[in-house]
Amino acid sequence: MSRSADRAGLQFVGGHWIASTGTGTVAVENPATTEVLTRVCRGTPDDVDAAVAAAAAAAPMWAATALDERIAVVRRAAALLEERAEEIARTVTAEVGTPLEVSRAVQVGRPIQVLRALVDAAPLVRWIEQIDAALVVRGPLGVVAAVTPWNVPLHQSVAKIGAALLAGCTVVHKPSEVAPSSAYALADALAEAGLPAGAHNVITGLGETVGEALACHPGIDGISFTGSTAVGRRIGAVAAQNITRVALELGGKGPSIVLRGADVAAAAVATAARCFTNSGQICAALSRLIVPREELAVAEQALSAHVGRQRLGDPLDPATTLGPLVSGAQRARVRTLIEAAVGDGARVVAGGPDAIVPETGYFVAPTVLSDVHPAMPIARTEVFGPVLCVLPYETEDEAVEIADDSEYGLVGAVFGADDEHAAMVASRLRLGMVGVNGGRLDVRAPFGGHRRSGIGREFGVHGIEEFLETTTMNFAAADRIVRPAV
């Protein structure tokens, strides 16, 4: 954490690292060792006011900056992040507990891919469109608040901030106080890449203070939030007082349907891999495996063997496949949910509340529960831990019904004997994204959910468009249209 260590007691406002107006701090803990790594500012509403003022002052100049120049700045920032990838990966591993190899690929490698995909997408946005004698012009929304979570901190930050900056917006970023240091690395990279002072600001602190102040601030034109559905609901309600545009990427309870004729064992293992990534602390986890009843034993055997191959331990050890949960509170919550599920009649196939885990750190064993009924709380609650529920079905229609029997609608998967049949079933699901026979996330395609999984989309052209406002210029005749520069 060497590069970001000297940022820990400061806020980034108007291009400068400055002291907070408050005196409180928040401890940042290593969940594998329970040691305090550093402390960050417990920001105040006055800090938020200063950051919003800096962003508003920078907004006219950044909005007027040519698209090619905005692209060049973001492209240089991506290159700087790549140069520092190992350092950032180790920082995220220390704060979140993600095994280092996974941090390199997912916590740092993928965000860089996201940022470069946004750069490639920016010229593809329909910045100007002619409709008869009208010219439809799309420009920056204004000052944007980006409120990001701890589980994939750099990934969520670049998806919002990169898109907003390319759109011509300026940003106030509130990273999670649990894992803030990658936000400092991003701030350094953007500043060194040539982003004007004030175009990007970072305020650390608690959600109920800094997040609330941003959501209700009259100087904020849009807020993009990733986190729990409960907090998203609060942000939407508060932001509505100022008619502030809101984009929300919220929870999930991803279903994975295995159709008859598919390789059940392979599909079960692929689903478990997606469920246990980052110890299950990911909104896009596939946490419900829906299998033909007659194949239940095959799935359970494959899952038991897969869990047996997992290794919990030091995230810096190359042999480790699963690290700890992020905090003691999260560990206690996940354990409580597992114990309640067993009490409700779920059967432990692997792991479970009595599994042996390292004594130090916030570890929970990867757990597979079968005989799960769709009405059980464990089948309906986003656990945010390494817990996979197995639900049997009799008919294909029942499988679809089980998959959609959720308040969430973020991600899912369908495994079938052929792509055509699997795609047909996938098209019936009320989900923002569905993997077909092993299809994975594409950072150029839109990411987001249906129903209580959120509002809006991230990544690529769709992600940039979330930060644009539309103006229609009506001319007397089509041949008199004058096109502004982009």
Residue-level pLDDT at 1: 40
Question: 160-163 contacts: CB < 8 A, separation 24 or more?
Answer: 160/224, 160/226, 160/458, 161/186, 161/190, 161/200, 162/74, 162/77, 162/114, 162/115, 162/118, 162/119, 163/118, 163/458, 163/463, 163/464, 163/466, 163/467
pLDDT-based confidence at residue 190 (cuts at 50, 70, 90): very high
Domains and CATH numbers, the chain: 2-251+448-472 (3.40.605.10), 254-407+411-436 (3.40.309.10)
pLDDT-based confidence at residue 2 (cuts at 50, 70, 90): very low
Residue-level pLDDT at 9: 77
Residue-level pLDDT at 484: 86
Q: Is 300 in the active site? A: no
Place of tokens 């409180």: 24
> What's the pLDDT tens digit per position in 205-224?
999 999 999 999 999 999 99
From 216, 275, 283, 389, active-site residue: 283
Residue-level pLDDT at 461: 97
Residue-level pLDDT at 158: 98
Residues 6+ apart with CB under 8 A from 201: 11, 12, 13, 14, 51, 54, 55, 171, 172, 173
CA angle 145, 96, 118 (to 5 degrees): 45
Residue-level pLDDT at 4: 52
pLDDT-based confidence at residue 382 (cuts at 50, 70, 90): very high
Place of tokens 């809006």: 456
Q: Is 249 in the active site? A: yes
| pLDDT(63) > 60 | yes
CA nearest to 453, candidates 192, 186, 184, 253: 253
Place of tokens 């979140």: 96
Distance (Å, rounded) from C-alpha 110 to C-alpha 391? 32
- Residue 115 in tokens: 């940022």
> What's the pLDDT tens digit per position in 432-464?
999 999 998 899 999 999 999 999 999 999 999
- Residue 280 in tokens: 């299950």
Residue-level pLDDT at 111: 97
From 249, 300, 465, 466, active-site residue: 249
Whole-model pTM above 0.75? yes
Task: Using DSSP, state whether 389 is helix, strand or coil.
Answer: strand
Residue-level pLDDT at 75: 98
Distance (Å, rounded) from C-alpha 131 to C-alpha 127? 13
> What's the pLDDT tens digit per position in 96-114?
999 999 999 999 999 999 9
pLDDT-based confidence at residue 230 (cuts at 50, 70, 90): very high
> What's the pLDDT tens digit per position in 280-329?
999 999 999 999 999 999 999 999 999 999 999 999 999 999 999 999 99
> What's the pLDDT tens digit per position in 155-189?
999 999 999 999 999 999 999 999 999 999 999 99
DSSP state of 434: E
